[in-house]
Amino acid sequence: MNTIKWIVDKNKVKTESYPHVQQAAALLQQDEVVAFPTETVYGLGANALKDSAVAKIFKAKGRPSDNPLIVHISNQQQLINLVDNITPVAKKLTETFWPGPLTIILKKKAGISELLTAGLDTVAIRMPDHEIALALIEESGLPLAAPSANLSGKPSPTLAKHVEEDLNGKIAGIVDGGATGVGLESTVVDCTGDIPVIFRPGGVTKEQLEKVVGRVDVDPALEKEEASLKPKSPGMKYTHYAPVAPLYIVEGSPQYLQHVVDKARKDGKIVGVLSTDEQIDRIKADVVLTVGTRKDLHTIAAHLYEVLRAFNETSVDIIFSESFPQVGVGAAIMNRLQKAAGHKIVKENE
């Protein structure tokens, strides 16, 4: 398959860049798959109402069929068309955080692809906060199923070149809108009950949610890697985001991290370290890459996947990562790191 690539300036999406959006939308209307930027990561879009279109997403990504997808919309009418009932908690959250990196789960109406929902009676929906994504949805006239635009299990793409590395020749088109912003996927919240439940931490934090709706629970399945677990939302099962070399999270002091690195190098390993601006000059390893500053965890979220992919361009045999506080966006960062590491953690006090 020949993958068409368009460069679209999000600041000119309604003027000079609009013909490219129209061309990409036309492919979506023909039930083809097109990658496009959002404020979180690049998404892999297809008509959410057609099994044949959604099947192409699963095929291109190599994604397990029991892993549901998120539907992206551009207006409230599309939400009404897709769900049975917008619960009071969902109404409050969408009024506050849409458009933005928040996905809500509600009971679905008929007409949505059964492949997309993986047989569940619910559907996950969000309204992205990105000019190109919204213009593409509007122009196509379709709700778009859109998981991250990467091969299943690999780090999610924050640049169009990441999409091209994984999916060139496997999909119809790539809309290159530059770097994404948040860098981590959306927060997924089950809004079917009275108390919202986080199924995946992301760009909207638990603390932000609680300011709007009060109590918010976290699904205990987030900490599990059970093969028998039936995912209730994207990102709840399977190792995700992993670089080629095995990744370990190190919980402890900088001195302990250096001890772990030294031991691995003594064993003959070429060692990479995922570090921060504060530690990069103190850690001695074969490859040390900084992901951002601890003073602002949003910088770490924005660059995490890019750095995980960068290790694939090196010859490292093993990667050790610093750990981060699980508050605010740190909860999402650690969720992605734990998935990437397959929950392999080295602790100083053990």
- The predicted-structure confidence for 11-51, as pLDDT tens digits, reads as follows 999 888 999 999 999 999 999 999 999 999 999 999 999 99
Asked whether residue 113 is marked as a ligand-binding residue, the answer is no
Asked whether residue 126 is marked as a ligand-binding residue, the answer is yes
pLDDT score of 225 more than 60: no
Query: Could you tell me if residue 242 is inside a domain?
Result: no
Asked whether residue 215 is marked as a ligand-binding residue, the answer is no
Asked whether residue 149 is marked as a ligand-binding residue, the answer is no
Can you spell out the DSSP letters for 36-78?
A: EE-SSSEEEEEETT-HHHHHHHHHHHT--TTS--EEE-SSHHH
Query: Is 32 in the same domain as 90?
Result: yes
pLDDT score of 250 more than 70: yes
Asked whether residue 146 is marked as a ligand-binding residue, the answer is yes
Query: Is 105 in the same domain as 209?
Result: yes
Asked whether residue 148 is marked as a ligand-binding residue, the answer is yes
| Band of pLDDT at residue 95, cut at 50, 70 and 90 | very high
Asked whether residue 241 is marked as a ligand-binding residue, the answer is yes
Query: Could you tell me if residue 329 is inside a domain?
Result: yes
Asked whether residue 298 is marked as a ligand-binding residue, the answer is no
* Residue that terminates a domain, selected from 223, 256, 273: 223
Query: Could you tell me if residue 241 is inside a domain?
Result: no
Which residue matches tokens 């918010």?
Answer: 216
Query: Is 253 in the same domain as 178?
Result: no
Can you spell out the DSSP letters for 236-268?
A: SSS--S--SS-EEEEES-HHHHHHHHHHHHHTT
CATH code, domain carrying 47: 3.90.870.10
Q: How far is CA 266 from the centre of its chain?
A: 36
CB 143 within 8 A of CB 111: no
pLDDT score of 227 more than 60: no
Domain membership of residue 143 as a residue range? 4-223
Asked whether residue 122 is marked as a ligand-binding residue, the answer is yes
Asked whether residue 259 is marked as a ligand-binding residue, the answer is no
Query: Is 121 in the same domain as 16?
Result: yes
217 - beta bridge partners?
Answer: 197
CATH code, domain carrying 255: 3.40.50.11030
Which of residues 27 and 225 earns the better pLDDT score? 27
Query: Could you tell me if residue 236 is inside a domain?
Result: no
CA 202 vs CA 183, 241, 264, 286: distances in Å: 9, 14, 32, 31
To the question of pTM greater than 0.85 for the whole model, the response is yes
pLDDT score of 228 more than 60: no
Query: Is 42 in the same domain as 138?
Result: yes
